[in-house]
Amino acid sequence: MASRHEGYRRLCRRKVLFIAGFMILTAVVAIFSLNVGFYETSFSQVFDVIWSNLNGQPVSSRQDQLIIWDIRVPEALVAIMTGAALSVGGAVMQTVLRNPLADSYTMGISSGAFFGVTIAAIAGISILPGVGGNLATVFNAFICSLIPVALILLISRKRRMTPTKIILIGIAIMYVFSAVSTLLMLTADSETLADVYAWRVGTLSQVEWGHVGIIFVFVTLGLIYLMLNNKKYNLMMAGENCAQTMGIDTKRTTLTSLSIVSLVTAAVVSFTGTIGFIGLVGPHIARIFVGSESKYLIPASAAFGAAFLLVADCVSRVSGTYGLPVGVISAMIGCPLFIIILVKMRSKEWA
């Protein structure tokens, strides 16, 4: 008995170690990332700028202040939060819908947000009156990305919902939105098209301090809620009937989780564009290392997602003259990494 207990302890310790390792990695890369970019800086400069800003003292060099404090620090913070949010969103979606192909965008959030952006950029329509420019894009994206999930909630009041049905409804709505967006894109001139296209790929280079606060509130509250529900998700994995026998209102849990994930994802996507890949693959990589127990899977996904997106962002900043979008870089690094991990581990988590 004692040895079995010991074995379990060791397993748990390994999982915690994985999570802690990636958290530390995130912190290290975050500090390192403040030095990455075209404008050369040294660690002492970075330290100076951050120290002065935290103490409320003026910084000696205005250029340092601008590049480090106003551009790189918010970018790193948003990269961490975005990676964590998308990855955890994917983990929860995969668990709740019991489908390894689900990710944060399965509910049609990305196409909804993209629709909002295209009507703002091409047709010049703002859903909230009296808002213009970049702000209109953000608001449009946020509001439109929540339409699919609202529709699913509406339908679920009348009809019985199975995971398959939810997925199929999400896909149908996604196709309607992307049809409209495509139609609009066909009427656009090639310059606007390039802009809209860039948004779709997702980039972190547009973020400002103002965005950090909003994203922070959504992401923290969302992750705390999802983490508090981790026991329910474990039971959901066992199947709907099983979970119901254990006293869980599966319909309610599914729908509230979907809503929370959608809200968090929408908040992130409106500012960064649809950064793909990490939401799907992040949780799978975490699952290969820590298993499917949500208590470990959620923080592990968050830690891995944050570290991964941060690294991808650093690479994207030094690649080429204008820098490739972070979505592109994450797929380019992530795909080979994922295949290598699958080959090495011969994982059977879903089979």
Name the residues that contact another protein, by CB under 8 A: 99-102, 155, 158-160, 162, 164-165, 167-169, 171-173, 175-176, 178-180, 182-183, 185-186, 190-191, 193-194, 197, 201, 276-277, 280-281, 284, 322, 324-325, 327-329, 331-332, 334-336, 338-339, 342-343, 346-348, 350-351
Give me 328's structure tokens.
């592109």
Between 154 and 228, whose beta carbon lies closer to another protein? 154
Q: How far is the CB of 245 from another protein (least distance, A)?
A: 19
In b/e form, how buried is each residue of 125-146, taking b as 16+ CB within 10 angstroms? Answer: ebeeeeeeeeebbbbbbbbbbb
* All residues at 6 or more sequence positions from 311 whose CB lies less than 8 Å from its CB, including other chains: 29, 333
CB of 219 to another protein, least distance (A): 23
Distance CA 108, CA 23 (A): 30
> 97 or 138, CB closer to another protein?
97
Comparing CB distances to another protein, the nearer of 69 and 338 is 338
Which residue, 5 or 158, has its beta carbon nearer to another protein? 158
The CA distances from residue 112 to 130, 148, 219, in Å, are 22, 7, 20
- Beta carbon nearer to another protein, 97 or 212: 97
Nearer to another protein, 62 or 346 (CB): 346
Q: Which of residues 62 and 158 has its CB atom nearest to another protein in the complex? A: 158
- φ, ψ of residue 40 in degrees (nearest 5): -75, 130
Query: What is the Cα–Cα distance from 282 to 284, expressed in whole angstroms?
Result: 5
Cα gap 143→293, rounded to integer Å: 33
Shortest distance, position 250 Cβ to another protein, whole Å: 15
Q: What is the rounded CA–CA span in Å between residue 177 and residue 112? A: 6
Minimal distance in Å, beta carbon 337 to another protein? Answer: 9
Helical ranges in the chain per DSSP H: 2-33, 43-55, 62-64, 73-97, 109-118, 133-145, 147-158, 163-187, 190-201, 209-228, 230-237, 240-245, 250-272, 278-290, 294-318, 326-345
Q: Which is nearer to another protein, 77 or 300 (CB)?
A: 300
| C-alpha distance from residue 98 to each of 241, 246, 291, 331 (Å) | 13, 18, 15, 24
Compute the distance between CA of residue 261 and CA of residue 340 in angstroms, rounded to an integer. 29
User: How far lies 251's CA from each of 183, 255, 330, in Å?
Assistant: 36, 6, 34
Least separation in angstroms between CB 277 and another protein: 5
